[in-house]
């Protein structure tokens, strides 16, 4: 307390009313999370299918909420508006085309993945890869990548919760006081995820979406008029982006509208993120928990409602510019990640600021829960059962899954505590660079067995190495730290672009060249357990014989 | 034995290729439009104070949604579900034949 900084405007001090509302709503959600175990209850939660896929019986609307739960997160509420506020449209608004082109993309291949997973009882993308290519190495590569890439994405959610708590005035400048609220929130999340599995986030998603829509509607109607209308918002943003940058005065602060040098960056960020999103274990989990092949396609037509909301939220970053919001942390330093909670606190009555804080915090918790469950599913099935203990019982699998979901959260916490939080959107882009490297094995595999399994593995390895090294070399102009951004020069084209996309193209080219080589050398291409008809199966088509005895447990939940 | 127990399920179920092609075009349009950044990175014409760059992308939320839904209807029509052995329809048909 002795190190207290002279109170920075607004942030200093606890906002009692807002904090109380936040805590009440938060407790309400926690109670609902525990209650969720009873919802549409199965005989037993002691199987991975029940704990991790909610028994595969979610219809269009529950799936819609679940997908929304993991698509629209602290990324939407905190990271994207913060990027818009600090650096402008190329760094932030690309999220809008990203979440639009996403739906045609998933429309195209997700129904196939659902069908083949239904026929063969696959729960993770790595299950599919193993069945399709008969290659355990490729399946382990896919699952390790999934778990690794999920961690920075969960870390981004933690940054979101921390931002809310910091603006609400929880914490202090000492090391313990600063991080304690974060640990409390995570202990709660961990506890109810542990007992309810995927059911907890599905129930909470309803509350979360209701809160989010309430806050958004109020925010986009009320805030722009309060700061002088959209005209003023856009002119203030244009003026700020044109000013010389603080880190490098030779350059402007950011982009108001992308210029000719930035087209590639904007397009590759949008397209790369869209290709990447449905490779994450959690997105695939949400998809596979739907009840029929076409649920996901119907969803692809109604999900864009979320994209519209995302665009409006992104623009709140520019509303904050017009409002003159000063996001200053408890340590007295400016932190762009605080901009949206700070805007809410400055502009809303305290009680509504509390509601808005709750929306952001719960909006970060739900996806964090879904992500950690999915990463745990992947570990259990594709590493624990395939490599460590092949004869594990279902109860053992469910137990390992629960423990790993805790472990993944702990690793995410380490990301938050060690990496630079100033540009949190970069956490998600970093995850995207990695997860995108599993795209050729998974999606190409849904259509063709032309690619050779070892060629795909080699392509993946080179893509991972190139992506990681290139991203490591990007230096943050403000902090001089590594992993400072996700853009780099695209070879051949000579423009800046998303590193993930470049790595993805290199990955594909290597996989194609080596496929030709390995086929010429007649290297064993592995056994494919799927047939063409499997990719078109629907809910009433039975599972393939070999799995029947095992899956009887999974679908009925009997031990 | 009904005819469809003889179906080789290691084949792609038959489909109306024309309808599938239309659906493919509907799905490709939003991607092409939005990745072609130079076609919309402009400030004018403004709409209710929003620069073209912003409102044009918002417009595509609705266009994309409509096109995806249209593609959904087309795809359902283009490739009727082919029941696999063990499917309830499949079984009842087998019993009828018997």
Q: Rounded to a whole number, what is the distance in Å from the CA of A96 to chain B's nearest CA?
A: 7
Whether A223 has a pLDDT exceeding 70, the answer reads yes
Q: Rounded to a whole number, what is the distance in Å from the CA of B93 to chain A's nearest CA?
A: 14
* Tokens linked to A298: 């119907």
Q: A390 or A65: which carries more pLDDT confidence?
A: A390
Q: Do B27 and A258 touch (CB under 8 A)?
A: no
Q: Which of A536, A539, A545 to mutate to test the interface with B (most CBs of B within 10 A)?
A: A536
Model confidence pLDDT, tens digit, residues B88-97: 665 544 444 4
Q: Do A105 and B31 touch (CB under 8 A)?
A: yes
For residue B98, the model assigns a pLDDT of: 43
Residue A558 is assigned to a structural domain of this protein: no
SS3 state at A496: strand
Residue A556 is assigned to a structural domain of this protein: no
Owning domain of residue A225: 16-541
Rg of chain A taking only CA atoms, in angstroms: 23
| Cβ atoms of residues A400 and A122 within 8 Å | no
Q: Rounded to a whole number, what is the distance in Å from the CA of B39 to chain A's nearest CA?
A: 10
Residues A47 and A50: their CA atoms lie apart, in Å, by 5
Model confidence pLDDT, tens digit, residues A308-322: 888 888 888 888 888
Q: Which residue of B has its CA nearest to A311?
A: B58
| Cβ atoms of residues A374 and A284 within 8 Å | yes
Q: Rounded to a whole number, what is the distance in Å from the CA of B89 to chain A's nearest CA?
A: 9
Whether A337 has a pLDDT exceeding 60, the answer reads yes
Q: Where residue A396 sits, what CATH number does that domain have?
A: 1.20.1730.10
- When divided into structural domains, chain A yields a total of 1
Whether A37 has a pLDDT exceeding 70, the answer reads no
B39 touching A (Cβ < 8 Å):
no
For residue A253, the model assigns a pLDDT of: 72
Q: Do A533 and B49 touch (CB under 8 A)?
A: no
Q: Which of B68, B73, B77 to mutate to test the interface with A (most CBs of A within 10 A)?
A: B68
Whether A13 has a pLDDT exceeding 70, the answer reads no
Q: Rounded to a whole number, what is the distance in Å from the CA of B76 to chain A's nearest CA?
A: 9
Residue A297 is assigned to a structural domain of this protein: yes
Q: B58 or B94: which carries more pLDDT confidence?
A: B58
**Chain mean pLDDT for chain B:** 78
Residue A170 is assigned to a structural domain of this protein: yes
| Cβ atoms of residues A25 and A355 within 8 Å | yes
Please name the helix (run of DSSP H) or strand (run of DSSP E) that holds residue A162, with its range, or none.
Answer: helix A136-168
Q: How confident is the model at residue A38 (pLDDT cuts 50, 70, 90)?
A: low
- Report which DSSP code applies to A383: I
B10 touching A (Cβ < 8 Å):
yes
Find chain A residues with C-beta within 8 A of B69's C-beta: 301
Whether B62 has a pLDDT exceeding 80, the answer reads yes
CB-nearest to B30 from A101, A537, A542 is A101
B15 touching A (Cβ < 8 Å):
no
Residue A7 is assigned to a structural domain of this protein: no
For residue B1, the model assigns a pLDDT of: 41
Q: Which residue of A has its CA nearest to B56?
A: A97
Q: Do A101 and B54 touch (CB under 8 A)?
A: no
Q: A40 or A157: which carries more pLDDT confidence?
A: A157
Beta-strand runs (E) in A235-379: none
CB-nearest to A263 from B41, B57, B79 is B41
Find chain B residues with C-beta within 8 A of A298's C-beta: 72
Residues A96 and A304: their CA atoms lie apart, in Å, by 10
CB-nearest to B49 from A231, A262, A537 is A231
Residue A322 is assigned to a structural domain of this protein: yes
Please give the average per-residue pLDDT across A287-292, as a whole number: 76
B45 touching A (Cβ < 8 Å):
no
If we measure between CA atoms, which residue out of A246, A224, A247 comes closest to residue A237? A224
Residues A504 and A442: their CA atoms lie apart, in Å, by 13
SS3 state at A58: strand
Query: CB neighbours of A341 closer than 8 A, spacing ≥ 6?
Result: A78, A163, A164, A166, A167, A168, A356, A357, A360
| Cβ atoms of residues A44 and A553 within 8 Å | no
- The residue ranges of every structural domain in chain B are 14-97
Q: Do A533 and B68 touch (CB under 8 A)?
A: no
Please give the average per-residue pLDDT across A338-348, as a whole number: 85
CB-nearest to A531 from B10, B48, B81 is B10
Residue with tokens 């199965």: A42
CB-nearest to B43 from A96, A257, A537 is A257
Q: How confident is the model at residue A175 (pLDDT cuts 50, 70, 90)?
A: low
If we measure between CA atoms, which residue out of A380, A525, A403 comes closest to residue A457? A525
Q: Rounded to a whole number, what is the distance in Å from the CA of A292 to chain B's nearest CA?
A: 12
Residue A553 is assigned to a structural domain of this protein: no
The neighbour count for residue B95, using CB atoms within 10 Å, is 9
Q: Which of A103, A105, A272 to mutate to test the interface with B (most CBs of B within 10 A)?
A: A103
Percent of chain B with pLDDT over 70: 81
CB-nearest to A104 from B31, B49, B62 is B31
| Cβ atoms of residues A309 and A213 within 8 Å | yes
Q: Do A100 and B72 touch (CB under 8 A)?
A: no
Q: Do B57 and A96 touch (CB under 8 A)?
A: yes
What's the whole-model pTM score? 0.82
Residues A245 and A87: their CA atoms lie apart, in Å, by 9
Residue A559 is assigned to a structural domain of this protein: no
Q: Which residue of A has its CA nearest to B60?
A: A100
What value of ipTM does the predicted structure carry?
Answer: 0.81
């Amino acid at each position: 307390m002795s190190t207290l900084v002279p109170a920075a405007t607004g942030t200093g001090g606890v906002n009692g009313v807002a904090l109380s509302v936040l805590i009440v709503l938060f407790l309400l959600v926690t109670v609902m999370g525990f209650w969720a175990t009873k919802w549409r209850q199965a005989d037993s939660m002691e199987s991975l299918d029940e704990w991790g896929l909610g028994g595969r019986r979610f219809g269009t609307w529950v799936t819609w909420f679940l997908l929304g739960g993991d698509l629209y997160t602290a990324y939407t509420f905190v990271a994207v508006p913060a990027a818009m506020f600090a650096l402008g449209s190329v760094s932030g608004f690309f999220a809008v085309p990203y979440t639009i082109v996403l739906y045609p993309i998933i429309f195209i291949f997700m129904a196939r993945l659902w069908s083949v997973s239904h026929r063969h009882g696959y729960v993770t993308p790595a299950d599919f890869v193993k069945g399709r290519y008969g290659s355990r190495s490729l399946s382990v590569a896919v699952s390790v990548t999934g778990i690794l890439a999920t961690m920075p994405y969960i870390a981004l959610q933690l940054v979101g919760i921390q931002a809310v708590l910091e603006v609400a005035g929880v914490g202090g400048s000492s090391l313990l006081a600063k991080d304690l609220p974060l640990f409390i929130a995570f202990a709660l999340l961990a506890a109810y995820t542990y007992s309810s599995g995927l059911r907890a986030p599905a129930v909470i998603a309803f509350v979360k979406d209701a809160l989010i829509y309430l806050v958004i509607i109020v925010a986009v109607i009320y805030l722009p008029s309060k700061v002088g209308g959209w005209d003023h918002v856009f002119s203030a943003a244009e003026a700020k982006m044109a000013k010389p940058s603080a880190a490098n005065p030779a350059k402007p602060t950011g982009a108001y509208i992308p210029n000719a040098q930035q087209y590639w960056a904007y397009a590759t960020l949008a397209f790369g993120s869209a290709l990447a999103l449905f490779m994450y274990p959690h997105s695939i989990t949400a998809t596979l928990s739907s009840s029929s092949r076409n649920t996901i396609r119907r969803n692809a037509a109604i999900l864009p409602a979320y994209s519209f909301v995302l665009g409006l939220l992104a623009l709140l970053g520019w509303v904050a510019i017009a409002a003159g919001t000063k996001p200053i942390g408890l340590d007295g330093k400016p932190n762009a990640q605080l901009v949206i909670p700070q805007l809410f606190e400055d502009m809303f009555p305290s009680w509504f600021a509390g509601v808005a804080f709750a929306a952001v915090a719960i909006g970060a918790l739900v996806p964090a829960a879904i992500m950690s469950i999915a990463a745990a599913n992947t570990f259990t099935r594709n590493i624990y059962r395939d490599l460590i203990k092949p004869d594990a019982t279902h109860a053992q699998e469910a137990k390992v899954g629960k423990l790993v979901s805790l472990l993944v959260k702990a690793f995410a916490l380490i990301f938050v505590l060690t990496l630079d939080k100033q540009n949190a959107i970069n956490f998600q882009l970093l995850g995207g660079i990695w997860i995108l490297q599993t795209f050729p094995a998974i999606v190409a595999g849904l259509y063709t067995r032309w690619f050779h399994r070892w060629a795909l593995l080699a392509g993946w390895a080179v893509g991972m190495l190139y992506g990681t090294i290139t991203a490591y070399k990007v230096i943050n102009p403000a902090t001089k730290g590594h992993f400072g951004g996700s853009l780099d020069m695209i070879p051949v084209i000579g423009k800046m672009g998303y590193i993930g996309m470049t790595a993805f193209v290199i990955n594909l080219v290597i996989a194609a060249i080596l496929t030709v080589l390995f086929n010429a050398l007649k290297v064993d291409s592995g056994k494919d357990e799927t047939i063409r008809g499997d990719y078109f199966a629907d809910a009433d088509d039975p599972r393939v014989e070999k799995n029947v005895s095992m899956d009887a447990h999974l679908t009925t939940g009997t031990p | 034995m009904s005819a469809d127990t003889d179906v080789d399920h290691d084949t792609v179920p038959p489909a109306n290729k024309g309808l599938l092609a239309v659906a493919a075009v509907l799905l490709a349009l939003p991607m092409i439009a939005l990745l072609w950044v130079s076609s919309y990175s402009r400030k004018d014409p403004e709409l209710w104070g929003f620069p073209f760059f912003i409102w044009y992308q918002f417009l595509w939320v609705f266009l994309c949604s409509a096109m995806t839904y249209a593609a959904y209807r087309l795809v359902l029509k283009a490739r009727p579900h082919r029941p696999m052995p063990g499917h309830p329809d499949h079984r009842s048909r087998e019993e009828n034949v018997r």
